[in-house]
Amino acid sequence: MGKPLIAGNWKMHGTAESARNLATQLGHHRFQEDAAEIVVFPPLVHLSVVRDVLADSSVSIGAQNVSRFPNGAYTGEVSAEMLLDQGCKYVLVGHSERRAILGESDQIVAEKFRAAQNAGLIPILCVGESLQQRQQDATFDVVAKQISAVIDLVGLEKVCQSVIAYEPVWAIGTGETASPEQAQDVHTVIRAQLGEAGRSTTLLYGGSVNKSNAAELFKQPDINGGLVGGASLEADEFLKIAQLVEA
Ligand code: PEP
């Protein structure tokens, strides 16, 4: 298993100044580099500000979105190579907000995953079921289908080289978290789907993770860290979550 990973998704929040302030507070913290990988995902326009502030720290940066096209006449899009050029190491693909609000299909998510990986970025593939799907006992099928769409396009080995974040949609930004057992159950199914090649693939849990619930989640055998939204906007809270995996 690789190092645990704690990722902070800042979503569409903040100004350049607030991004600089948040990054500065994180940059002051001396993370135990061997204990965990810490990565933040600022809004695209603040990437260079955050990159410069964190240049001498062990905190990595990533992007919240990437174009599925390599370059060309795609007004408003940002390519994987551009993100790499900005210093990004990771990129989120398939976040439920992009699937649900911006209409990204499994096919588009898979193409974004491929574009990111081809350019040398590490995709964090987000998957998860809606409340209705959970109530219909469709959770495992939904998650397996979202992962299969990417496997079908790039192959199993490539998916195993990425990071997968299980994020139940009903837990994102709601304050409601999957229980450690519920999360572990889905992670077990994901691990089984990846088979032998995925034994050391990093699997994250996301969905209202905070400093009070993170410890129990991170104790689960197949939860290798967290994708943190709201709680990553407060440096103290995010640092407390990160320190749980350093312990
Ligand atoms: C997320 O943005 O991926 C997320 C899990 O958000 P929150 O922690 O706010 O639920």
Bridge partners for 166 per DSSP: 127, 205
Q: If you average pLDDT over every residue of the chain, what do you get?
A: 96
91: which 2 tokens?
């990129």
Question: Residues of the chain with pLDDT > 90: what percent?
Answer: 94
Q: From the CA of 172, how far away is ligand 1's center (Å)?
A: 5
pLDDT over 70 at 12, yes or no: yes
What are the two backbone dihedrals, phi and then psi, of residue 35, each rounded to the nearest 5 degrees?
A: -80, -35
Phi/psi of residue 41, each to 5°? -120, 85
Give the helix, strand, coil percentages of the chain, each rounded to 5: 45, 15, 40
Kindly provide the residue ranges of all beta strands, DSSP E only, lying in the chain, ordered along the sequence.
5-9, 37-41, 60-63, 90-93, 122-127, 163-166, 202-206, 225-228
Is 29 a known active-site residue?
Answer: no
Task: Point out the ligand 1 atom lying closest to the alpha carbon of residue 206.
Answer: 5
Report the range of poorest mean pLDDT among 31-35, 97-101, 212-216, 242-246: 31-35
Closest C-alpha among 186, 184, 230 to residue 209: 230
Q: Reply yes or no on whether 111 is catalytic.
A: no
Q: Where residue 122 sits, what CATH number does that domain have?
A: 3.20.20.70
Ligand 1 pocket mutation pick from 6, 9, 174, 212 by most atoms within 8 angstroms of CB: 9
Pocket flag, ligand 1, residue 228 (CB < 6 Å): yes
pLDDT, average across residues 213-223: 96
Query: By three-state DSSP, how is residue 225 classified?
Result: strand
Rounded Cα gap, residues 89 and 235, in angstroms: 21
Active-site hit among 104, 129, 167, 237: 167
Q: Which of 95, 97, 104, 111 is labelled catalytic? A: 95
User: Is 20 in contact with 50 (CB distance < 8 Å)?
Assistant: yes
215: left (phi over 0), alpha (psi -120 to 50) or beta: alpha
- Residue span of the structural domain in which 148 resides: 5-246
96 contacts 128 by C-beta, under 8 angstroms:
yes
Record the tokens describing residue 87, joined without a space: 């210093």
pLDDT at residue 32, rounded to an integer: 80
The predicted structure's pLDDT at residue 199? 96
Q: What is the Cα–Cα distance from 86 to 82, expressed in whole angstroms?
A: 6
What total number of domains does the chain contain?
1
Q: What is the pLDDT of residues 18-66, one digit of tens each?
A: 999 999 999 998 888 778 999 999 999 999 999 999 999 999 999 999 9
